[in-house]
Amino acid sequence: MSAFNDIRDYVAIPRVLSLKLSPDESRLVSVVQSLNPDGKSYGTALWAIPLPGPLSGPHTGSPDTAPYRLTRSAKGESQAVFTASGDVLFTSARADATVKDSSDETPSLWLLPRAGGEARQIATRPGGIGAVRAAGDVVVFAADVLDGEESTEEERRKARKDAGISAILYEGYPVRFWDHDLGPGRTRLFAARLGADRLEDVRDLTPDAGEALREVAFELTPDGATVVATWRIPLPGGELRSDLVAIDVATGERRTLFTETGFDFTGPLAISPDGARVACSRDRVDSLEVSAKAELWIGDLATGQGRTYAGDLFPMDLAWTPDSTAVHLVADFQGRRPLFRVPLDGETTRLTQDHAAYLAPNPAADGTTLYALRSAIDLAPAPARIDLATGEITDLPSPAPRPEVPGTLTEISATADDGATVRGWLVLPEGASADDPAPFLLWIHGGPIASWNDWQWRWQAWIMAQHGYAVLMPDPCLSTGYGQEWIDRGWGNWGPRTQADLDAIVDAALARDDIDSERIAAMGGSFGGYMANWIAGHSDRYKAIVTHASLWNLDQFVGTTDASSYWQREFGAPGAERYQLLSPHLSLDKITTPMLVIHGDKDYRVPIGEALRLWWDLQRTGVESKYLYFPDENHWILKPGNAVAWYETVLAFLAQHVLGQEWKRPDSVV
């Protein structure tokens, strides 16, 4: 029986989330997410993947190369950063068994010895410890800190809790991010030295940071002397700029490394092994007429001088070559996410030629081999080894075996009305043929600056294929991996231009004899939900439309999202012309297609008001519709039980309107 047949089986599949190569290159360590014993939540643990040696010879999965679990706790573990000696640093909210009445409410820093034995807690903070970096005997970590005297912070946090105070007073923007409120604490960076049992000489490197380190990306130079970090600068009108700064670990002295009007310097970040250069993303500040653009930026750590590389490739992840002469870049490209080699002098070359998507590149010290997470639309993430000389790819034993997908994956393309070629992936269920054509589902990706090129735990087309649907996953205008012009085509013209692209590739898919051109539906989340709403008001070809976490009233959305300034740059000030041209709610009177509206109340990216307004508008105008509401979910539906309810409700809704079956309310939402 396929794991995609019963959603409960699907949500129980373990998931590999990260990959780190040990200093001695004897093993990789991954954070693996799996279902907790209660079946109601997910937990994480660290797993080791032994490396058996030279490139020659297959991995047999014998006991000496089989992955094994390193940690086990109810609270789970994350981070997985190696020290120079091969010990593993990780964060966890697990209690410290060696300390009486140890609190396990906030994450602490733990060390797991390379030689084996129990992990020990080496640092705590009243507000918890976040991201961690290590070099030599230096450790730098991020922590949430209340303003005021540090020595009294724990008492002040307790007093606030005991008094029942949850209020936060803001004096600037933003106030939220993704699914949580910002404050009352603020992020700072701390430096320390690895001692025998605990971190020693812990120092606050950024006591004046204020809001500058919110959602910080940072790295530590190989000698442990300098931290390079993003630093946010408030601008008039609620805008922000992100610079890159260098902080001296010994003194805390800070200097601006990269700053430029009209650009943000952001992660991913990587510092060259010789400590001379920094690679990061330089993001263009967009406007009504200037589209979003991200480029690889490489600059000198001493002088701050730098330039862009690799043309239109948006940096997704990166790592330096061991000799510091080039960067291994991960970037979307034509429905894939290959590895590229970007030399300081010379032409960018593509390293991987398969249809996969890569993340977490880890180059070996001799420069001949690179380890990474490898996945694809039809391939769950797992570790792989790439021979950089030949391009040969070897899948390694994984802590989470890949499920076998129930169908086939093929590429599809079409010519849009303006002559541009629109491409996408087509998932076909087993048995689809001219004699038995499959019902059709258009699945529109979010972003909109994004691409269908990777395995999706949340937006899983193979579940739909298991239930008989052919699923089209297209990359219309605004998708990444097709050059800047592809983004420019849809900038400020979301609905009409994107729909024209979608119509063209849907027509091409429906022309196939193994797809039923009459039984068709459309769905999408976030920007894909916006397009689902737009299509509902501008087309009657679909039998049903599912809209998740969707934008409905653009003027309302831009003023209530967690990043209003970002969206206002593209659409203009409230009341501007683009709201009238592009807001789906203005075509409410044209909607006749049955709609399923889905939203989570903790979604701050697309606030719940969008769903409430859409639901009421559909109800008051008599459109056949249903509303699936998640009080405790954010922009994504993450809890396993809620994921079951999501898919079962979507499948029941499609079965009613696309397959012509009688409506049956799923047991998961009874």
Confidence (pLDDT) at 248: 98
Q: Are residues 643 and 495 in the same domain?
A: yes
The whole-number average pLDDT for the span 596-623 is: 98
Query: For the residues of 107-152, what is the DSSP string, one character each?
Result: -EEEEE-TT-S--EEEE--TT-EEEEEEETTEEEEEEEE-SS-GGG
- Report pLDDT digits (tens) over 332-388: 999 999 999 999 999 999 999 999 999 999 999 999 999 999 999 999 999 999 999
pLDDT over threshold 50, residue 55: no
CA distance 549 to 122: 41
Q: Residue 2: which pLDDT band, with cuts at 50, 70 and 90?
A: confident
pLDDT over threshold 80, residue 56: no
User: Is 100 within a domain?
Assistant: yes
Confidence (pLDDT) at 65: 79
CA distance 266 to 331: 15
pLDDT over threshold 80, residue 546: yes
Residue 123 belongs to domain spanning = 81-150+169-395
Listed residue (278, 294, 129, 260) closest to 218, CA to CA: 278
- Would you state the torsion angle of the CA atoms of residues 544, 549, 551, 552, taken in this order, to the nearest 10 degrees? 50
Is-contact 274 242, C-beta < 8 A? no
Q: Are residues 391 and 417 in the same domain?
A: no
pLDDT over threshold 80, residue 1: no
CATH number assigned to the domain comprising residue 89: 2.130.10.10
Q: Are residues 433 and 338 in the same domain?
A: no
Mean predicted lDDT score pLDDT of the chain: 96
User: Is 18 within a domain?
Assistant: no
Q: Are residues 520 and 372 in the same domain?
A: no
Query: How far does CA 43 lie from the centroid of its chain?
Result: 18
- Report pLDDT digits (tens) over 271-294: 999 999 999 999 999 999 999 999
Judged by DSSP in three states, 326 sits in strand
Share of the chain above pLDDT 90, in %: 94
The domain boundary residue, chosen from 395, 421, 436: 395
User: Is 422 within a domain?
Assistant: yes
CATH number assigned to the domain comprising residue 479: 3.40.50.1820
Q: Residue 629: which pLDDT band, with cuts at 50, 70 and 90?
A: very high
The whole-number average pLDDT for the span 147-166 is: 94
Would residue 490 be called left, alpha or beta, if left means φ above 0 and alpha means ψ between -120 and 50 degrees? alpha
| Cα-based distances in Å from 607 to 388, 552, 613 | 45, 11, 11
The whole-number average pLDDT for the span 253-267 is: 98
Is-contact 181 95, C-beta < 8 A? no
> Which of residues 56 and 371 earns the better pLDDT score?
371
User: Is 459 within a domain?
Assistant: yes
Q: How many domains does the chain have?
A: 2
Q: Are residues 561 and 643 in the same domain?
A: yes
User: Is 462 within a domain?
Assistant: yes
Confidence (pLDDT) at 61: 42
- Report pLDDT digits (tens) over 223-259: 999 999 999 999 999 999 999 999 999 999 999 999 9
pLDDT over threshold 80, residue 644: yes
The domain boundary residue, chosen from 395, 423, 442: 395
Q: Are residues 330 and 356 in the same domain?
A: yes
The whole-number average pLDDT for the span 216-224 is: 98
The domain boundary residue, chosen from 370, 395, 420: 395
pLDDT over threshold 90, residue 125: yes
The whole-number average pLDDT for the span 557-582 is: 96
Confidence (pLDDT) at 62: 44
Q: Residue 105: which pLDDT band, with cuts at 50, 70 and 90?
A: confident
- Report pLDDT digits (tens) over 408-452: 999 999 999 999 999 999 999 999 999 999 999 999 999 999 999
Q: Residue 150: which pLDDT band, with cuts at 50, 70 and 90?
A: confident
The whole-number average pLDDT for the span 510-529 is: 98
Largest CA distance in the chain: 75
pLDDT over threshold 50, residue 57: no
pLDDT over threshold 60, residue 137: yes
Confidence (pLDDT) at 101: 59
Q: Are residues 200 and 254 in the same domain?
A: yes
Tokens representing 270 are 């990587």
Q: Are residues 302 and 181 in the same domain?
A: yes
